[in-house]
């Protein structure tokens, strides 16, 4: 009985914390490192794993953690993101939750775009402050991970923290790509280093578990996930009106004045900020035992329910791949690839190491009756075409007997209807690749 009572008390306390927490998801900047995937959409709206969008990850983590008041801050190419959120996240009238877009806006006090992460939150506080809350959970809209934020919030309260920063242990060779935090034995953050070079890492190690130490993961990288006490956040933003970034400006100053603690996270986490990281994260999901679990019944990933028919595969060879609903694959070879919704792959095509985002419509539907109206008439991959090492964006039409493969190992380049970024061929949304094209 005592155990049941204790569990009930803990559950009630977790519920109270959730009800006093507002989540703020940062939509990011122009997303230049993800170009051309961000040519017509914001980073959080980029498709993921054949059927989701990047924004679905932090929103799903919030919903699974019982945090139902969520703001998404955007300013670049936000139309498709707004549409996706409006179509997907509708709470019923018996719940108080919402997912609300806050776009950069002109006000009497500011006529500029968001200047950084902290500036975006500062200028949105007038809208956020309308709702009662004690904690603000700040998240990124372009990361892939599963996290129960209730545990992080409980850690925040147990440590009597003003600010809690989620950290992940990394090896020395990975550290220069991140903001590195140094902690004491109690997990209190004492120092911050913004992307320290490899030769300056000595002395920047932090206490980690024996397992992480054995793997050489002794440097704590900031994940860009923060819990702030409301009054602390407001004070820091007001007292530092010219500081526009959390990682580079607000957090380093806060370490000297506030109780800032580390929340250690050792699960899978990927910051999807480049074409290479996007490509590798998607293909990782097609592995036989991927480190990111899309099949976790306790942490489902939510997205737009499209009510599509199941995938149809006829006389084909498929190995270590994901095939999303609504796809039609005929007498083809699919290896280590992610095939998105409504993908059509025609006879004798070969697809290897490819992220194919799918289509918004089927090629056999009357163009005069379909939505959207833009895009080629025949999205998909044509007969006898060969595609390897590529990202195929939405509604791309690849003709017959095409060869798309970076045979010369070009790292950066572009041509008619294609780009090469990080050594990966990227076919942008709505591109038309004529019959017989060799890339």
Cα separation of 315 and 118, whole Å? Answer: 54
Residue carrying structure tokens 């990080």: 422
Question: And the tokens for 91?
Answer: 């709470």
Residue carrying structure tokens 């155990």: 3
Q: Report the alpha-carbon angle 40-43-44, nearest 5.
A: 115
Cα separation of 158 and 164, whole Å? Answer: 11
Kindly state the average pLDDT of the residues 154-170. Answer: 96
Which of 74-88, 201-215, 326-340 is least confident? 74-88
- Which pLDDT does position 313 carry in this prediction? 97
Above 70 in pLDDT, residue 116?
A: yes
- Which pLDDT does position 14 carry in this prediction? 57
- Which pLDDT does position 103 carry in this prediction? 75
Q: Please measure the distance between the N-terminal and C-terminal CA atoms of the chain and give it in whole angstroms.
A: 69
CB atoms within 10 A of CB 348: 17
Question: And the tokens for 352?
Answer: 């290897």
- The arrangement of secondary structure in 312-433, i.e. its CATH architecture, is 3 Solenoid (2.160)
- Which pLDDT does position 4 carry in this prediction? 43
Q: What are phi and psi of 412, to 5 degrees?
A: -140, 130
**Cα-trace Rg, the chain:** 23
- Residue scoring higher pLDDT (420 or 8): 420
**pTM reported for the whole predicted model:** 0.92
Model confidence at 208, pLDDT cuts 50, 70, 90, reads: very high
- Which pLDDT does position 243 carry in this prediction? 83
Residue 369, Cβ density class (10 Å: 0-12 exposed, 13-18 middle, ≥19 buried): exposed
pLDDT tens-digit readout, 386-408: 999 999 999 999 999 999 999 99
Above 90 in pLDDT, residue 15?
A: no
**Which residues lie closer than 8 Å to 54 by C-beta, 6 or more apart?**
43, 44, 45, 46, 48, 141, 142, 143, 144, 272
- Which pLDDT does position 270 carry in this prediction? 94
Count CA within 13 A, CB hemisphere, residue 422: 16
| DSSP-based three-state secondary structure for 135 | strand
Q: What are phi and psi of 61, to 5 degrees?
A: -60, -40
Q: Does the bond joining 339 to the residue before it have cis omega, within 30 degrees of 0?
A: no
Above 70 in pLDDT, residue 27?
A: yes
Kindly state the average pLDDT of the residues 86-113. Answer: 72
Cα separation of 18 and 134, whole Å? Answer: 10
Cα separation of 407 and 61, whole Å? Answer: 40
Cα separation of 23 and 4, whole Å? Answer: 30
What is the DSSP track for 355-406? EE---SS-TTS-GGG-SS--S-SS-EE-TT-EEEEEEE-TT-EE-TT-EE--
Cα separation of 265 and 147, whole Å? Answer: 9
Model confidence at 13, pLDDT cuts 50, 70, 90, reads: low
Cα separation of 276 and 34, whole Å? Answer: 9
Helix axes 2-19, 149-158, angle to 10 degrees: 100
Q: Minimal CA–CA distance to 391: which of 360, 364, 426? A: 426
- Which pLDDT does position 30 carry in this prediction? 66
Question: What CATH fold (topology level) applies to the domain 2-276?
Answer: Spore Coat Polysaccharide Biosynthesis Protein SpsA; Chain A (3.90.550)
Domain regions of the chain by residue span? 2-276, 312-433
Do 275 and 426 meet the contact criterion of CB atoms below 8 Å apart?
yes
- Which pLDDT does position 360 carry in this prediction? 95
Cα separation of 420 and 414, whole Å? Answer: 6
Which of 16-20, 216-220, 280-284, 377-381 is least confident? 16-20
Q: Report the alpha-carbon angle 111-112-118, nearest 5.
A: 120
Kindly state the average pLDDT of the residues 311-321. Answer: 97
Please tell me which of 75-79, 99-103, 142-146 the model is most confident about, judged by mean pLDDT: 142-146
- Which pLDDT does position 365 carry in this prediction? 86
Above 60 in pLDDT, residue 65?
A: yes
Q: Left if phi > 0, otherwise alpha if psi is -120 to 50, otherwise beta: which for 304?
A: beta
């Amino acid at each position: 009985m005592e155990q049941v009572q204790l569990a009930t008390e803990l559950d009630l306390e977790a519920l109270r914390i959730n009800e006093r927490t507002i989540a703020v998801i940062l939509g990011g900047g122009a997303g230049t490192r993800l170009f051309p995937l961000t040519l017509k959409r914001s980073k959080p709206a980029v498709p993921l794993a054949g059927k989701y969008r990047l924004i679905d990850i932090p929103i799903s983590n919030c919903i699974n953690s019982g945090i139902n008041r969520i703001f998404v801050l955007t300013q670049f190419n936000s139309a498709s993101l707004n549409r996706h959120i409006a179509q997907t996240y509708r709470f019923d009238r018996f719940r108080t939750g919402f997912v609300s877009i806050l776009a950069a806006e002109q006000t009497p006090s500011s006529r500029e775009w968001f200047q950084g992460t902290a500036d975006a939150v500062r200028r949105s506080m007038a809208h956020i402050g309308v709702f009662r809350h004690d904690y603000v959970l700040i998240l990124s809209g372009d990361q892939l991970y599963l996290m129960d934020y209730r545990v992080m919030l409980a850690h925040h309260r147990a440590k009597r923290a003003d600010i809690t920063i989620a950290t992940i242990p990394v090896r020395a060779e990975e550290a220069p790509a991140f903001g590195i935090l140094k902690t004491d034995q109690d997990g209190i953050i004492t120092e911050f280093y913004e992307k320290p070079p490899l030769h300056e890492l000595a002395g920047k190690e932090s206490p980690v578990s024996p397992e992480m130490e054995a793997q050489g993961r002794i440097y704590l990288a900031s994940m860009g996930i923060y819990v702030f006490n409301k009054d602390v956040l407001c004070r820091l933003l007001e007292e530092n009106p010219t500081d526009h970034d959390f990682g580079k400006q607000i957090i380093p100053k806060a370490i000297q004045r506030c109780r800032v603690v580390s929340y250690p996270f050792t699960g899978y986490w990927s910051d999807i900020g480049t074409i290479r990281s996007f490509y590798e994260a998607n293909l990782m999901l097609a592995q036989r035992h991927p480190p990111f679990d899309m099949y976790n019944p306790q942490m489902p990933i939510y997205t737009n329910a499209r009510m599509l028919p199941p995938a149809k595969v006829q006389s084909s060879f498929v190995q270590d791949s994901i095939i999303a609903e609504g796809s039609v694959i005929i007498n083809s070879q699919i290896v280590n690839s992610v095939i998105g919704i409504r993908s059509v792959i025609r006879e004798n095509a070969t697809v290897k190491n490819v992220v194919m985002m799918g289509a918004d419509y089927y090629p056999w539907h009357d163009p005069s009756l379909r939505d959207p109206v833009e895009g080629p008439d025949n999205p998909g991959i044509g007969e006898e075409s060969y595609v390897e090492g590529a990202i195929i964006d939405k509604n791309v039409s690849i003709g017959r007997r095409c060869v798309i493969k970076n045979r010369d190992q070009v790292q950066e380049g572009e041509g008619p209807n294609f780009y090469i970024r990080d050594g990966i061929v990227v076919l942008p949304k709505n591109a038309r690749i004529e019959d017989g094209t060799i890339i």
